Amino acid sequence: MSIEVNNESGRTVDERALLDVARYALNRMRIHPLAELSVIVVDADAMEQLHRQWMDLPGPTDVMSFPMDELRPPSKDEEEPPQGLLGDIVLCPEVAERQGAAAPTQHSMDEELHLLTVHGVLHLLGYDHEEPSEKAEMFGLQAAIVEGWRAEQGLEGPSPAPTTVS
């Protein structure tokens, strides 16, 4: 899998962990090993500009996803998933830090960024949370992926509760 992480935020983030959690999520979702993903970490001003340009909403948000080839997890009948460009995930550590601190299970900016990376991957794969049933499915899958990755990494404690509304 080709995953590129580019930190343009001016903040220190654990880029290796973002790469690892994205890879784990894509493997868990059975995405083709030659799929390509880009994760870009930006400051609040850049995120606000993207949020206004693409969503016509004010202020910075936590995560945005820009799908390319509309790859989807393969069905049980498919022997091999299609390959292609998954797309871009844009993260904002400033918003992630605030959300992690405000969450019922307070957690670090990096833990929130792990959660947001998985959230972004799921959006790229066609998951959404507009309807209650969609939200239950997506957030359940998101929690399972983050929890599985944390266990694989030997990280202690519960997984951060979903705080994202993007």
Range of the domain at 29: 2-153
pLDDT in tens, 12-35: 999 999 999 999 999 999 898 889
- Is 147 a domain residue? yes
Confidence bin at 111 (pLDDT 50/70/90)? very high
Measured between alpha carbons, how far is 96 from 12 in angstroms, rounded to an integer?
A: 13
Residue 152, phi then psi, degrees to nearest 5: -65, -35
Beta strands of 15-164 (E only): which ranges?
A: 36-41, 63-67, 85-91
- Is 161 a domain residue? no
- Is 163 a domain residue? no
**pLDDT greater than 70 at residue 163:** no
Run of H or E including 7: strand 2-7
- Is 69 a domain residue? yes
- Helix intervals (H) in 41-85: 44-55
- Domains identified in the chain, total number: 1
pLDDT in tens, 81-104: 677 889 999 999 999 999 999 988
Q: What is the pLDDT of residue 166?
A: 47
CATH number of the CATH domain containing 10: 3.40.390.30
- Is 162 a domain residue? no
Full-model pTM? 0.90
Confidence bin at 73 (pLDDT 50/70/90)? confident
- Is 125 a domain residue? yes
Taking CB atoms within 8 Å and a gap of at least 24, the contacts of 10-13 are 10/43, 11/41, 11/43, 11/93, 11/94, 13/41, 13/93, 13/109, 13/110, 13/113
Q: What is the pLDDT of residue 16?
A: 97
Q: What is the pLDDT of residue 24?
A: 97
pLDDT in tens, 113-149: 999 999 999 999 999 999 999 999 999 999 999 999 9
Q: What is the pLDDT of residue 78?
A: 66
The answer to whether 62 touches 92, Cβ cutoff 8 Å, is yes
- Is 132 a domain residue? yes
- Is 107 a domain residue? yes
Longest dimension (CA), the chain: 45
Q: What is the pLDDT of residue 158?
A: 59
